[in-house]
Every structure is written in structure tokens, then in C-alpha cells.
Structure 1
Amino acid sequence: MVRLRNFKRFLDQSFVLTGLTVLTGLNSSGKSTLVQSLLLAHQAGLSPGDRVPLNAKPGLRLGQPVDLLALDATTTTVEVEIDVDESTTAWAFETQFDGFEDASYVLCDDARAPTFRPIYLGAERLGPRTSHGSAPAVSATVGDIELGDDGRFVAHALAVHARRDVAPDLVHPNQPRVTTLASQTEAWMSELVGAIQFEARLVPRTDITTLHVRSSSLGDWLLPTNVGFGISYALPVIVAGLTARPGDLLVIDSPEAHLHPAAQSAVARFLARVSSCGVQVIVETHSDHVLNGIRRSVVSGEVASDTVTIHFLAGRAEPERITIDQRGRPDHWPAGFFDQMEVDLRSITRPRPTDR
């Protein structure tokens, strides 16, 4: 459970987070605000003093204190409260203090670290490149894998950690024998875009990593710039899921970006599988194919229905929590909740005077 007070558009709002939480709804309705509150709480735990930066990695871009405080707030304090297993941790962020007009931080006297490690991939991921940078402070044996909130270090992660084994429950059924990150990345990416291979190499004595791609339809090794955006956008999603550890918080904004409908459904089923391995997954999406992919995972038994929660946010209306049963059916279907196809089809097929 996450409770927000005076945080941007939420004066006092609570959200239930389960193993797999889907955030959807209208634009500018507060979906990203919930994610930002979790990232801010994480940042509070990293801050050595009482100053908590509003612009930091991963994915925190909140501007200045005035941008954080709700317009109708009656106090100057923004609060984030996280309840995990009946244990509550709360943060109170003061937005008005000497020099707050020009500050890029808020004050928090009791900054405690949350129990999760966030892995965040934003909607604006790095597109195809001829070369990639190297992540800071990453080695083959020590430290967490760093992908960057736009996926810019994914090639470096594949080059350095290619032989690292993935969790047994994330081994692709078509590749059960070779369980390394390199092999499993190719197997899961092939589920999305057809048979594909990757070759990631460090350029000696530089901070550059090269990435080449080979698909069954093309045959030759190619640069990512010659195979389209979908592969570059999906690759960090797959690598993030395969390298997340139990207890981590994996947040993916728009996993469907640049993918065709079948791939959107496939990436959703992959993330559902990740959530069943003890990783808490939050997906922000506008895709009915992502929703239906998750529903398929419930029906197939890959993920339990009671671990899936959907929050539908529609402008100034109260956010609605939607659950699904074991047959993948939502407990209710609010107006505006992935119903645009039906709306459009009714308009297209409506009888007109010229039809008579």
C-alpha cells in the first residue's frame, strides 16, 4: 500500500500494490506521480543529510519544490507512506524553507531507505545507436547491473554479464539448457521479434560497447540502426526482467513502445512471469494488448490472479482499482477503460441514411 498526501495532483490518495501492478488511464491523470513517489522515497534513503534531490537517477525528474506540492494543499509538507507486510515507513518532505524558490531539493528530517531496490525504465528509451556507453562502477562479479533509465547501458550489461545465469523460473522453454543472460535474452527477444541473436563487445581501452544484431530473416550481423526501433526499445525491458532479483521493484513505462500487437502481448506475459519470481513489477501502459497479455498469463496459470492489480486513473475522478479473476475477467469495466475499439466500431458500423 502506498499513500500520498499533497503530492502533485493527490491531496490524499492510497494505492494497493501487488506483485504485478498495472497503471493505466488518461494522460496527465497521475500514473507517473505514483511512480515518482516511490523513486523519491528511495532517493530519501540514499541522501546523507536532510536534503533529498528532486532530480536524480533512476528516473526522478521533479523540478523544484513548488512543482511537488499539490495546488490545493493546506500545508507545505508532502508525505509518502509505504506499508509492506504490516510495517509502515513514512517520509515527510518539506517544500518551503529558506531558498526553496531556487532549490532542486526538498527537506526530510527522517530519511529512511525503503526495503526495495528500484529498477526503472522510462517511456523514452534510447533508440538504435551505432555504439553504446559503459555503465559506471560495474564489473562481472561485483555490483548491480546498471541499465540506465533509458536503457543506454544495455549493451554493456550484455557484454559484461553475458555468462551470468538467470533465475530458473525465467528460463525460456525453448532454451532450457543454456541458462546464461546472453542466451536467455536472445530466447525471450525471439518471442517478441522472431529469431534473433546479439553480439555485445567491449572496445578495449575505451568506454564504448558495440552491439550487433542478426536475425534469421537477414542473415548478416547488422548494427541496431539497421533493424528498427522495436528491438532497441524492447531489449532493455527483457534484460531488466532477467536480471532483477527477488525483492526488487521493477518499473517499466510503456513496455509496448514501438512493438507490434503480438510483441506487446508477449512482453506483457514476460513481465508477468518476472513478477511470479518475487520481483514486484509496476507497468505503466496505454496498450490493450499489454492488458490482454497479462490476462492470458493469469488464465494459463503463469501468474496468480490475486497478485495482479490494475489502477485506472481518469482525470479528476477518483482512481479505480480493478482486479481480475482466474479466467482473466476484470471485476468491472469503467467507461474509458480500454473500450475505444468498441466505441470506434459502433461508430463505423452505425447505420447511415446512405446505407438504405
Structure 2
Amino acid sequence: MFDLLRLKHFKAWRQSISIELKPLTVFLGTNSSGKSSIFQALLLLKQTVVSPDRTVHLNLGGNEVSDYFNFGHFDDVMSRNASSNRFDIGFEFHKNGNVDRQESPAAWVQNGAFSASYGKTSLKAAVVQEMSISGEDVLFRLVRRDRGAYSAFVGQEPQPRGKSRLYAPQRSIALSPEAVSLLGVDGKKAEDISLAIRRQIESITYLGPLRRKPERDYVWNGTMPGDIGIDGSRVVDVLLSSALAPAKDEGKGAIIESVSHWLNRMGVADSIEVRQLGRSTRYEIVVHRDGVDANLRDVGIGVSQVLPVVTLAFFVPKGSTIILEEPEIHLHPLAQAVLSELFVEVSQQRQIQFLVETHSEHLFRRLQTMVARQVARENDCRLYFVERKGADAELVHLELDGYGRIGH
């Protein structure tokens, strides 16, 4: 789970800021205030980490198929009137659950941190000026020197272990094989920390505010998709897989039942069902409500728009981080409020972290009520209000007491 996000000179966040993140973190604020930029920092790291080019320092986008965003050039990311020609991104995290050394080589890294400062190349791309990774009590740093060479440091050692262009970081978070070899025994620890950081970033799933309208029927390819897409376009593939070929894994086989349960709690449907069309290989999603069966295409738009939100909560692996923008879109007030219950319960039951950007006062108020009723603990959720002060974004912590009241 991400515990802290640090930004400086990143888009609207010109001043240095540290944002504490909880299992459920909600960001409210006006349009164009800087809320989405917070998420974009993490998504920029993710599209860099999954880039096929391991030598890239920061993937600013351009591939419409594989990238979340096209950030343009360095100057488009850099805050205006920044005090230096660099921007910084960093985070701290911890792993949920017990250590399982059989799980991965990085299983011992239960707490870690990443930080990088980026400068600009002559081609207006981003290049790492300084990078640090740490896990437990071990720290590694790379510092860019003249002509693209990097000095490699371990801990607080005043002198670098070595300096070379071959020590340039890979995908922002990893040491090159040459740097690992230079560090000897410490190099193995650095590899494990980089892998733990990579796994943390890869655990992010993003669902944007613009979701695709449903089709009348679908063909199932017989497999469970790897993700549902940033527009929820593959959500029906997940539901088809859950209904037609239930996996043994609890998180997969019970997806359609869990989705039906929450749609019922929201009052938008009694349940949903996958139904085969005759003897064909095509299927439709049927929505049951008040004794009436209807194709998903023929019901209110709110059902299809919230369907990816609810499905995602049960589709992602335990321990994942879900980033949601405007999950409440096209929902009536009661359903918006129930979204808070979904986030709190799934976070507690499946150790899912939710980072949510919303304009819904109903979602916000229900969360206050849940804290007051001790259904949600105030230490497990965090509320922020983002506002604009001139060209800069400003973050206000809306601190809740044990009665769900906002402190003054």
C-alpha cells in the first residue's frame, strides 16, 4: 500500500508537498484544481515501469495503446515559474500481510521508498538527475554527473562506489546490471528493492471518468482479461469469465455474485446475469430489477457506468491499489453514498487501497457517517480538498474526529 506521495514542481504542484495516503483516500475540489495531477504522477511511473524500453528514464507517453496519458514534453510536466529546472516524484509504501520468502526474491522488503528528480535533455525528454531507493535500513543512490555519467552511492557513504555512463538508472526505479555488479553483495539487495518497488507500482489499476457504453451482446474468448481498461471496456469480459468459467480463486469465481450484491445495495438493480443468445457463441448481460429483465444496453446509463467500478473492486488481486476518477458519474444520490460503503468494506476485506477523486458530496457525507458509527476508522481514511491559489494547487486535509466531524 502507498503510504506517502511526494511531489515538487510537478504540473500544478509547484511547491514541495507530501500527501499521506490511507486505505481509502478521497480527493475533493473544483475542476482543474490539480486533483488529477496527483494520480497522474503515479500513473506516469507505472507507464514507465511497464515500458518495453528498459533504458527509458521516464515514459512521457505517446503510445495510445499502452500508455495511460500523453504528457507531452518535459516542459508540459514542469510547473510554471518553478525555482529550478527539475521536478520530483517520490513515494513510500509497505506491503500488506506476512512475509513469504517463497513469493518473490523481494519478499523481505516490507517497507520501501522511491524518489527521483528529473531534468530535461536537449530533446525535451526527462532524464533522472538523482534517484534513490530504499528498503528497511538499506539505501542506494544514483547521481548524474558530467556527460551523462552516474555516481553510485550506498547508504551515507561520502564517496561513490564508482562512476560511469553504464550506471544510468533503468525505468526510473532500477539499477543497471553494471551498477548491480559494481555493488557486489549490496547489488543483490538493490535488485530486491527495485523489484519490490516495481511490484508496488504494478499493483496500480486505473479507471478514468469516461467509460465506454455497453454493447447489446458480446463474444467470450474463453479467457479472463488481464485488466478492464481505463475506460472499463473489458468489464463484460470479466463478468463473462466469472459466470461461464468460474475460477477456483475466491476473487475471480465470485465476481458476478459480488457485483450483483452491490448493485442491489445501491438500488440500481436486483442482480445481473450472463445469458446465452440461443445456441450461438454470443452472450448478453441481463439486468434484473423489480421483476423486469432488460439488456444492459436498455437500462439507465448509471448501471453501465458504475459496473466497471464495482467489478474492479473484486477483480484486482488482493493488496492492489485502485485509482478512480468520478466513480459516482450518472448515479443517483443514494447510490453515490453506497459507494463509500463499497470502498470501506472491500478495503477491509480484500486489503485494497482506493485513491478516489470525486465531486460527490453524498459519497463524502456517507463516509463521515461511517466514521461516526465506527464502521470505518478515522485512521483508515483520509479526506483532502484541493483548491487553486493562482497557478498553484493547494491541499487541505479535512481531518475527521471520532464522530465523523471535520476539525477546524
Normalised to the residue count of structure 1, the TM-score between the two structures is 0.78
Following TM superposition, by how much is the alpha carbon of 1:107 offset from its aligned partner in structure 2, in angstroms?
3.4
* 8 Å contact from structure 1 (residues 89, 114) kept in 2: no
Q: In the TM superposition, what are the counterparts of 1:5-20 in structure 2 within 5 Å?
A: 5-11=8-14, 12-20=16-24
Matched to 1:35, the amino acid is F
CA deviations over 1:175-210 (Å, ceiling 9, x no partner) = xxxx7112111111111213122316699999xx74
Kindly tell me: are residues 45 and 300 of structure 1, through their superposed partners in 2, closer, same or farther at Cα, counting changes over 3 Å? same
Find out whether 1:223 has 2:248 as its counterpart. Answer: no
Find out whether 1:244 has 2:264 as its counterpart. Answer: no
State the distance in 2 between where 1:198 and 1:218 align: 14
Kindly tell me: are residues 145 and 198 of structure 1, through their superposed partners in 2, closer, same or farther at Cα, counting changes over 3 Å? farther
Matched to 1:155, the amino acid is V
State the distance in 1 between where 2:29 and 2:216 align: 36
Kindly tell me: are residues 79 and 200 of structure 1, through their superposed partners in 2, closer, same or farther at Cα, counting changes over 3 Å? farther
Q: In the TM superposition, what are the counterparts of 1:1-356 in structure 2 within 5 Å?
A: 1-11=4-14, 12-47=16-51, 48-55=54-61, 57=66, 59-85=68-94, 87-94=112-119, 96-100=120-124, 106-108=126-128, 109-110=168-169, 111-112=172-173, 113=198, 115-116=200-201, 117-131=203-217, 139-140=223-224, 145-162=226-243, 163-164=246-247, 180-192=254-266, 193-199=268-274, 210-217=283-290, 219-220=292-293, 222-276=294-348, 277-316=350-389, 318-332=394-408
How many pairs were matched up? 310
Matched to 2:9, the amino acid is N
Provide structure 1 residue ranges, at least 5 long, that are not aligned to the other structure: 171-178, 333-356
Matched to 1:87, the amino acid is G
After alignment, is 159-168 or 181-190 more displaced?
Answer: 159-168
Kindly tell me: are residues 226 and 202 of structure 1, through their superposed partners in 2, closer, same or farther at Cα, counting changes over 3 Å? closer
Rg larger in structure:
2
State the distance in 1 between where 2:304 and 2:26 align: 23
The SS at the match of 2:49 is: helix
CA deviations over 1:104-126 (Å, ceiling 9, x no partner) = x6334532226241111111111
After alignment, is 13-22 or 81-90 more displaced?
Answer: 81-90
State the distance in 2 between where 1:204 and 1:148 align: 29
Normalised to the residue count of structure 2, the TM-score between the two structures is 0.69
State the distance in 2 between where 1:300 and 1:125 align: 33
Kindly tell me: are residues 90 and 133 of structure 1, through their superposed partners in 2, closer, same or farther at Cα, counting changes over 3 Å? farther
Provide structure 2 residue ranges, at least 5 long, that are not aligned to the other structure: 95-110, 129-167, 174-197
CA deviations over 1:277-324 (Å, ceiling 9, x no partner) = 311111100111010222233234332211111111111163111221
**Aligned-pair Cα RMSD in Å:** 2.9
* 8 Å contact from structure 1 (residues 41, 91) kept in 2: no
Following TM superposition, by how much is the alpha carbon of 1:53 offset from its aligned partner in structure 2, in angstroms?
2.3
Kindly tell me: are residues 200 and 146 of structure 1, through their superposed partners in 2, closer, same or farther at Cα, counting changes over 3 Å? farther
CA deviations over 1:241-285 (Å, ceiling 9, x no partner) = 112333211111111100000000112210121222311111100
